[in-house]
Structure 1
Amino acid sequence: MSPPNAPARPEPATPPAPAAGPLSAPRTVGVFAAATVVLLAVAAAHLAQGTSSVGALDLLRLIVGTDDEAARVLVASRVPRLLAGLAIGVALGFAGAALQSIARNPLASPDTLAVNAGAHLSIVAAAAFGLSLPALPAGGLAFCSGLAAAGLVMALSAGGQSGATRLILAGSATALALSSVTTLLLLLFEQATIGLFAWGNGSLVQSDLQALAQLAPAIGVALGTLMLLGHRLDILALGDDTATVLGLDVRRTRLIVTVLAVLLSAAAVTLTGPVGFVGLCAPVIVRLLASVVPGVHRHRTLLPLSGIAGAVIVLGSDVLLRAVMGGQAGVDVPTGVVTTLLGAAILIWLARRHRDAGPTRRPPGGHAAVRTSTFHRVVVVCCALVIVAAVVLGMLAGDTWVLLGDIVNWLQGRTGPAYTFVLDQRWPRAAAAVLAGAALAVAGTTVQAVCRNPLAEPGILGITAGAGLGAVSLLTFVPLAGVWAVSGVAGVGAMLAFVLVYGVARRGGLSSDRLVLNGFGAWQGGMAVITFLIVAFDPWNTGKALTWLSGSTYGRTAMQMLPVAFALLVLTPAVVAARRELDLLALDDDTPRVLGVRLERTRLVALGAAALLTSTAVSAVGVIGFVGLVAPHAARALVGGRHSRVLPVAALLGAALVSIADTVGRTVIAPAQVPAGLVTAMIGTPYFVWLLWRSRAVVTNSR
């Protein structure tokens, strides 16, 4: 999959510390003082909020007298919540700044490196299997999982220095795989893991100070050690070669800093669950002060300021949440939802300043072999036979196995009530899987061609989250909404997400990498809003919501398939008719213009078709990931890069993949079921990791 020419070297993502100018002591002291004042003000407002009637005046009276009720509320609830917010804010701020420095990438953070996802999985797994661990052993388990996840992502993204887009893609794939396993555990062990869905998005609810007391020494040691390593990080920012010449052991420094950052992130996850994007936002906000405070990039200034900024973000988000929705919202709605929305906005803002670079921007079919037309026809026939076999297997398998003769009798109306009921319920599921898989595959092929990014898919562009947000919103507020209404609202959500992502990415000229980064931000923001809707308005139905968000054909009806079938019948021929334009778009921007292709209009129409195909698939079967990535890649490997051949083969492969995943999911642990989206994620993630690993040599050679 190596391109013909080595990609351009990516630009440095984080400026070297010494180049930021001399340190100004008065301004540095001033900014620390201002940050501390802001933190104290936010902390005071945080203490004054809660579910009880104890307010700011009651707390002030504690200074001059005694108020037993106010003292009890303060000690039992508000102080533990405040201290937990301070601890995780500081920990994540330090961790994010350290990870961005060693990766020299402003998008490195505990979230984008999948540290939080790995730590979260270990905590949920312990609860699912009945292990009740104290905070310190649980933190150790989370640390090991988070470190393994971070190591994988850093390896796949060439240490994080190969460009922001590659880091995001590697981190999101790893996080999605880990989150899929986490979701599966939440579904299979619903009673043992009750309450962990909301906690999994970062909740500051604390019953006492016991967990914080156990984790505080580890957090303190990690913070102190990072401060001692500040000068080494300054030298490392000059570049590996320069740092080596100056006597710094680069590899050891990176390893130590990574371990410390993961330790801080794991402690935060153990204490409150994964609070999203604090480690991304805090260092970015501090670095924006460089024009006002020269030398702010020096790590002995950057690290503590990032810690303070992280604490302000966490506590400020909690204050904002309870101010808008009331004190009970602080218990019901995870604080991480608010921080994730903030992080998504900052990520989109950062993407506007990003320039395309790195090996992910290349023609998706550049590595595909040239095949003959006869070979293409053979592949199409074989794929069609695979689909027929997959559909037949889907009709046969499940919690009740039937025979081929039973299906023949059912088609003739001669089966008994039991088999009739089973097959009447089973055929819409099989048909929905085939149609949704084909729609997602066609959408993925189109997205990869337009973006010239072989690692893009509708989910990473935010289209899936937009469709999911629209459908979940309607199902939450109008539970009896019809099939066409759900499909229509999902389509509107997908199109709005597409307009946001595309509109921001095209400012100053459409950029492939900016499109992916904006889409990732929209995806994270959309999933945060979906979580908010579930926990705020339908908290007792998280199992149903998780099943839908994981992609399932359970309970599908013939009516629910009609929107997908209609979209395929109308939009697939339109995409096939534009196959020549897609071939040209996959090359570069100049060739289509020279040959008379109206570039912007073609991109807009193609991506709009992909968004509509994705939205109908999501409204029918929920969120199923990786189909739009795996099917086009496999199709190009089989029949070459021409879209006249890739599109039909990708559609057939996508249909087969989702059909097989659905059959496996409802058979392996019958009568319980694994949603099809979790199965495709477990299949697609290793393939995606393999793609990243294959292209890793290109990244290394280009540095």
Structure 2
Amino acid sequence: MNAPPRPEPAIRPAPGGRLAAPRVAGVFVAAALLLLVVAAVHLTQGTSNVGALDLLRLATGADDEAARVLVASRLPRLLAGLAIGVALGFAGAALQSIARNPLASPDTLAVNAGAHLAIVAFAAFGVSLPALPAGGLAFCGGLAAAGLVMAMSSGGQAGTTRLILAGSATALALGSVTTLLLLLFEQATIGLFAWGNGSLVQSDLTSLTQLAPVIVGAVVVLVLLGHRLDILALGDDTATVLGLDVRRTRVTVLVLAVLLSAAAVTLTGPVGFVGLCAPVIVRLLAPVVPGVHRHRVLLPLSGIAGVIIVLGSDVLLRAVLGGQAGVDIPTGVVTTMLGAAILIWLARRHRDAGPTRRPPGGHAAVRSATFHRGVVALSAVLTVAAVTVGMLAGDTWVLLGDVLNWVNGSTGPAYTFVLDQRWPRVAAAVLAGAALAVAGTTVQAVCRNPLAEPGILGITAGAGLGAVGLLTFVPLAGVWAVSGVAGLGAMVAFALVYGLAWRGGLSSDRLVLIGFGAWQGGLAVITYLVVAFDPWNTGKALTWLSGSTYGRMPAQVLPVLIALLVFTPAVVAARRELDLMALDDDTPRVLGVRLERTRLIALGAAALLTSTAVSAVGVIGFVGLVAPHAARALVGGRHSRVLPVAALLGAALVSIADTLGRTVIAPAQIPAGLVTAMIGTPYFIWLLWRSRAVASTTR
């Protein structure tokens, strides 16, 4: 058996030969001048009426008011942007170099998510720490997250898609815990929702003066290690022959990059995608500036580019929306939108390869028909048991006899009220779980990517954007309106992602990467809507985005039931085509399958199933990933067997998660999506590790 093709190095080695010193110097001068212009404009913006002329008069010492505004507000904001721009630019360039992957960054390696969780965890319990101890906590959280992602993605070198999926899943799990803390300790963590998206608002220079030496020290050490990074870029074998301790160098650089990221998060919160964009922009200069890949050039230029991105985004935000927007809306929202656009652009240039490109059921065991029937029966029993417990459990426990009496209409008013409120929640969880599982099975087959799920295609972000937008601007919108707008948003997002991924054919890796970019961009827009138009009701958006069945009514369950009844038989009818598409592109064509039309119809059905589920219960992750994999592990890879088992397991999973969320800390509640994320994360990590081991043995 031939080994699968290894992906080409995404970041090429630093070119040898003579360094074009005049051109490099010219680039540094141009970047410095652009930085000075952006910084000067940045200082003229704010909530007060102090403008450029007022600041110029400070040279004569004639305007005390302008001096107070400059020192108390604008200078701290400018210096904070300068510090985090340098930190994230250096961190992103360093991470991309040791991973040899252009999409490695503090965001995609979940460094920011780990650091954010560490800080929120202490704030939730009322612990207020100075900047340096808080930075130490953020460092520990970020380092743990980055280590996990790097381990699961073979140091980032196993393929761009694997890195993105490992990082996004880890970030989703850590973000779920963070969101849970924000919901449960809303008073103690007030204001952290906006800060959690990267805000440059600074009350003084205390935190900056404490963290600046850390940033400067890490930056200096990285520059000193630049020659070692140049050697490392030649490949591990070559670097070892040249006498470089590859492991020590990679670990040292990783620790320094995480230290810089943690300092940035401590200072301003997670400012998204600066660490991704800055090095990419610098590397684009390679055709006209030979030698820009050398790390003693690349690292400082990435730091300058990071500052320009941060300050430029802040300038753009306040220029378009006014000075108050700089206070209300996190700058990280703008940088995330920019980063999502660059990520999509990079993904369109991505070549399909790597160990994640294998049939999702390629390693599933072959099971007999009797065994399959037994698994279906056990899955059905598990689902019925989950539904039964869901009806019994909650802040008010009832007996099975009470449920039977309620079905017969002979219960008292108290139990009637409880069960009338509870059954739509149980039904919504079961139906949404089944819909997400069927959609996930379809997406994995069509994409031939065992790590894909509906959310990674931007579908859930589109549905979330539509629903949150409607709830923000039309708070009294009806159930059908919310469902309809969520479905429309999901289909628009899916059409956008599918259209961008089409480039002479559909590449599954490109589809996943563009979907991830659309997902991040959609979440940034959702954050903007919440903090700009409804900042005092962040709990509403957090609950919906975390996936909750709270307050569900029968009318909200009906669209999911209709979607299941319409699209599940269509997917089942295409089970043979799904089996063929899961193999490769050539086999279906040889056997007469109209590949592109079938692929579009299958993904369209998955998008509609996902959109109705999201409109009913909000955003619930991991179900579309975990349920299909568990089903394939049990009954093999044939979709005639996988689909019913996956649907039953998905229904049981969401129902169990919803029941746990309603009972563990009753009368308070944990959204079902957070519980599924915490249940699904260990399975996902095991799955990544197993596929990593399989990929290693096939080489």
User: Under a length normalisation based on structure 1, what TM-score does the superposition of the two structures give?
Assistant: 0.98
- Residues 108-142 of structure 1: CA distance to partner in whole angstroms, max 9, x if unpaired? 10001110000000000010111110000000110
Question: Counterpart in 2 of 1:12?
Answer: 9
Does the CA-based 8 Å contact 1:571-1:609 persist in structure 2? yes
Question: Counterpart in 2 of 1:627?
Answer: 623
Shift, 1:380, TM fit: 1.4
Question: Counterpart in 2 of 1:242?
Answer: 238
Question: Counterpart in 1 of 2:644?
Answer: 648
Q: Secondary structure in 1 aligned to 2:663?
A: coil
- Residues 144-174 of structure 1: CA distance to partner in whole angstroms, max 9, x if unpaired? 1111111111111001111100000111111
Question: Counterpart in 1 of 2:412?
Answer: 416
- Residues 241-264 of structure 1: CA distance to partner in whole angstroms, max 9, x if unpaired? 111111111111111101100000
Which piece of structure 1 moves more, 5-14 or 267-276?
A: 5-14
Q: 1:270 to 1:667 in 2, by over 3 A?
A: same
Shift, 1:640, TM fit: 1.1
Return the match for 1:657 from 649, 653, 660: 653
Question: Counterpart in 1 of 2:250?
Answer: 254
1:168 and 2:164 equivalent? yes
Q: Secondary structure in 2 aligned to 1:624?
A: coil
Shift, 1:96, TM fit: 0.3
List aligned pairs for 1:44-59, cutoff 5 A.
Answer: 44-59=40-55
Aligned residue type for 1:309: A
Does the CA-based 8 Å contact 1:93-1:308 persist in structure 2? yes
| Residues in 2 aligned to 1:517 and 1:702: alpha-carbon distance in whole angstroms | 24
Shift, 1:638, TM fit: 1.2
1:190 and 2:186 equivalent? yes
Question: Counterpart in 1 of 2:665?
Answer: 669
Return the match for 1:181 from 172, 177, 181: 177
Aligned residue type for 1:12: P
Shift, 1:701, TM fit: 4.4
Question: Counterpart in 2 of 1:531?
Answer: 527
Question: Counterpart in 2 of 1:617?
Answer: 613
Question: Counterpart in 1 of 2:515?
Answer: 519
1:120 and 2:120 equivalent? no
List aligned pairs for 1:345-424, cutoff 5 A.
Answer: 345-424=341-420
Q: Secondary structure in 2 aligned to 1:291?
A: coil
Question: Counterpart in 2 of 1:602?
Answer: 598
Aligned residue type for 1:263: L
Shift, 1:478, TM fit: 1.2
| Residues in 2 aligned to 1:53 and 1:326: alpha-carbon distance in whole angstroms | 12
| Residues in 2 aligned to 1:554 and 1:5: alpha-carbon distance in whole angstroms | 52
Return the match for 2:69 from 39, 59, 73: 73
- Residues 202-253 of structure 1: CA distance to partner in whole angstroms, max 9, x if unpaired? 0000000000000001101000000100111011111111111111111111
Which piece of structure 1 moves more, 527-536 or 411-420?
A: 411-420
List aligned pairs for 1:251-330, cutoff 5 A.
Answer: 251-330=247-326
CA RMSD of aligned residues (A): 1.0
Shift, 1:413, TM fit: 2.0
Shift, 1:5, TM fit: 5.1
Shift, 1:418, TM fit: 1.6
- Residues 61-100 of structure 1: CA distance to partner in whole angstroms, max 9, x if unpaired? 1123321111111100000000000000010000000010
Return the match for 1:102 from 79, 95, 98: 98
Q: Secondary structure in 2 aligned to 1:581?
A: helix
Aligned residues: 699
1:545 and 2:538 equivalent? no
- Residues 679-702 of structure 1: CA distance to partner in whole angstroms, max 9, x if unpaired? 000011110100111122234346
Shift, 1:416, TM fit: 1.9
| Residues in 2 aligned to 1:232 and 1:639: alpha-carbon distance in whole angstroms | 50
- Residues 8-60 of structure 1: CA distance to partner in whole angstroms, max 9, x if unpaired? 111001010134x5311111111101001111111111111111111111111
Does the CA-based 8 Å contact 1:445-1:628 persist in structure 2? yes
Shift, 1:637, TM fit: 1.0
| Residues in 2 aligned to 1:17 and 1:700: alpha-carbon distance in whole angstroms | 27
Structure 1, unpaired ranges of 5+:
none
Aligned residue type for 1:631: A
Q: 1:610 to 1:181 in 2, by over 3 A?
A: same
Aligned residue type for 1:323: A
| Residues in 2 aligned to 1:499 and 1:61: alpha-carbon distance in whole angstroms | 54
Q: Secondary structure in 2 aligned to 1:695?
A: helix
1:443 and 2:457 equivalent? no
Shift, 1:483, TM fit: 1.6
Question: Counterpart in 2 of 1:576?
Answer: 572
Aligned residue type for 1:180: S
Does the CA-based 8 Å contact 1:321-1:329 persist in structure 2? yes
Aligned residue type for 1:217: P
Shift, 1:599, TM fit: 0.6
| Residues in 1 aligned to 2:593 and 2:580: alpha-carbon distance in whole angstroms | 9
Q: Secondary structure in 2 aligned to 1:289?
A: coil
Does the CA-based 8 Å contact 1:158-1:700 persist in structure 2? no
Structure 2, unpaired ranges of 5+:
none
Q: Secondary structure in 2 aligned to 1:290?
A: coil
Aligned residue type for 2:167: G
Return the match for 1:479 from 475, 479, 483: 475
Does the CA-based 8 Å contact 1:286-1:305 persist in structure 2? yes
Return the match for 1:341 from 310, 333, 337: 337
| Residues in 2 aligned to 1:597 and 1:409: alpha-carbon distance in whole angstroms | 53
User: Under a length normalisation based on structure 2, what TM-score does the superposition of the two structures give?
Assistant: 0.99
Aligned residue type for 1:130: G
Q: Secondary structure in 2 aligned to 1:338?
A: helix
1:89 and 2:85 equivalent? yes
Does the CA-based 8 Å contact 1:6-1:698 persist in structure 2? no
Shift, 1:6, TM fit: 3.1
| Residues in 2 aligned to 1:651 and 1:663: alpha-carbon distance in whole angstroms | 18
| Residues in 1 aligned to 2:2 and 2:647: alpha-carbon distance in whole angstroms | 30
| Residues in 2 aligned to 1:219 and 1:395: alpha-carbon distance in whole angstroms | 54
Shift, 1:412, TM fit: 2.1
Question: Counterpart in 2 of 1:211?
Answer: 207
Shift, 1:282, TM fit: 0.1
Return the match for 1:686 from 672, 682, 685: 682
Shift, 1:352, TM fit: 1.1
Shift, 1:414, TM fit: 2.1
